[in-house]
Structure 1
Amino acid sequence: MADKKSKEESGLRTVQRALDILYCFSEERQELTLTDISKEMNLAMSTTTRLLKALEMNHFVEKNQETMKYRLGQRLYLLGYIAGKSIKLRELAKPLMYSLRDETKETVNLYVLDSTSRVCIEQAEGLQSIRHLVKIGEKLPLYAGAGGKVLLAFQSEEFQQKVLAYEADHVMKGDWQKERKHILDTYTSCSIDEREVGSAAVAAPIFNIHGEVKACLSISGPTHRFTEEVIPQLQQKVKEQAQRLSEQLGYVVKHNF
């Protein structure tokens, strides 16, 4: 019985060590030598070699025969692709949205980019008797409203110029560039009486595994409740949940939003 338990523990330790080798790689360290991995793992070269051999046989790592360096293999790319396809944004977002709604009592929306517009695909209705709601599936502009602006700010210059050219009557390019810089610096946006008189919102970007912003979270409600004292608090809360959701989607957060 003791021998069986010992073998199980040894097997688990081996699996964990193999996983730890994969964790040695990062965006900054895409290729590593045997010595690099051995030192980081604090393992004997012989043990590290055996583990790498097993990972290589299963295509979890690949060895460059010219440089003798290891890198992550194609099997991991395939598994990551499958995992990415199986992750549903709405399913991941819903518990975070309802938690945020319960904490703030305001309506929480999940928007996604749809061509040159945005669409609300999920909503947690506010708990106040007077609250702000948008229709699920309704197309809304990118140039107005916190959700639209935070989505627009993280797109390419070419995309922004296309939107601004189309909406030239609604937004001044100089004003937008100033506001965009603030959004990129703070990872949040705010709107008061922009898309609708009497409504206000704050929003934060959601990053996918590729570092792209195709969705955002927003908190919206009547303007009179979004005071100068309340807005920074709401912005911090929506940023925290947007960052958490980004991490669940596979985005590696290099620093807090």
Structure 2
Amino acid sequence: MEPTGPNSEQLDSPAGGRAVERALSVLELAAASGGRLRLTDIADKLGIPKSSAHNLLGSLTRTGWLERNPRTREFSLGVRAWEIGHAYVTLKPLTQRAQPVMDSLRDLLGETVRLSVLVDTDNLCVAKSSGTHPLIFDQPVGARLPAHATGLGKALLSGLTTEQITALYPDDKLDVFTSTTLATVRDLEMRLEEARSQGWVEDHGEYVPGIWCVAVPIRDEDDAVVGAMSVSFPVERFAAESEHARRALLQAAAEVSRRLGASHAVIGRG
């Protein structure tokens, strides 16, 4: 994707490229230092003035990539670096373990199967097995869709507490895309309660009219929802195929959860 916005020219410029390279170099140095990185170390190793190193460290600290020990004045990797690393470690096993199961489910049903993770208030598609039947709308790998308006998104949100949902959606009103989109956080929380109790959730054309789906959360060894899997249909096939697809999807999601270390008790939900 091409960079856009007011800073795109700066990112494309040689100076912008050097700034990014310097920031990444600082993170690499912080990772190798064991939390004992000083301003002078940065200036010396990167060959830049201390004033430039100070500004760079300030930016990385403000954005959470670095943390500064107020007593020793040394820098170490911050929580943002941990979050990105944790997401990578989690995501790679998830997609590796899920793809063969998704392909088998696709072969069984002939319908498109997707795997998503939660990113802020969006579901991010990280893997897909394309069905033999065409769809009116197809979410490609890498695309983000609003979680509250999709089956995958609601399956992912079902793993959050009420407090976490409120933090994600501080305003009760939600963006509405079709006549069936949930319009308020209160409505969303009611749907999530249903999803938690039954172990699955449906999307009846809430983002794109005519596309319905069934989605199921995937859990890891800590009982945390780390992903969700769905089967999508055009509305005219949903009534005839949804029950069979739901049973197969629950079994497939349970298998992926088992491969991620989830216990039998967790897998048995729904």
Structure 1 match to 2:215? 203
1:221 maps to 2:236: no
State TM-score, norm by structure 1.
0.62
Contact 1:132 1:221 in 2 (8 A): no
Contact 2:172 2:184 in 1 (8 A): no
Percent identical among aligned pairs is 25
Structure 2 match to 1:191? 203
1:245 maps to 2:250: no
1:99 maps to 2:104: yes
Per-residue deviation, residues 193-233 of structure 1 (Å, max 9, x unmatched): 11111111100010011110020110012111111x43222
The residue type equivalent to 2:258 in the other structure is E
Counterpart-to-counterpart distance in 1, 2:231 and 2:133: 13
Counterpart-to-counterpart distance in 1, 2:91 and 2:186: 41
1:146 maps to 2:158: no
Contact 1:147 1:204 in 2 (8 A): yes
1:179 maps to 2:191: yes
Counterpart-to-counterpart distance in 1, 2:172 and 2:142: 21
Structure 1 pair 130–211 and aligned structure 2 pair: CA distance change class (3 A): closer
Counterpart-to-counterpart distance in 2, 1:238 and 1:148: 16
Per-residue deviation, residues 67-108 of structure 1 (Å, max 9, x unmatched): xxxxxxxxxxxxxxxxx8797211111110011001111100
Per-residue deviation, residues 3-44 of structure 1 (Å, max 9, x unmatched): xxxxxxxxxxxxxxxxxxxxxxxxxxxxxxxxxxxxxxxxxx
Counterpart-to-counterpart distance in 1, 2:160 and 2:119: 12
> Number of residues paired by the alignment?
174
Structure 2 unaligned runs (5+)? 1-88, 176-182
Contact 1:200 1:226 in 2 (8 A): yes
Structure 2 match to 1:159? 164
What SS is found at the alignment partner of 2:115?
A: strand
**Within-5 A mapping of 1:60-139:** 88-130=93-135, 132-139=137-144
Q: Which has the larger radius of gyration?
A: 1
Structure 1 unaligned runs (5+)? 1-83
State TM-score, norm by structure 2.
0.59
Counterpart-to-counterpart distance in 2, 1:167 and 1:109: 29
Shift of 1:252: 0.6
What SS is found at the alignment partner of 1:183?
A: helix
Write out the 4+ residue segments of structure 1 that deviate beyond 6 Å after TM superposition.
84-87
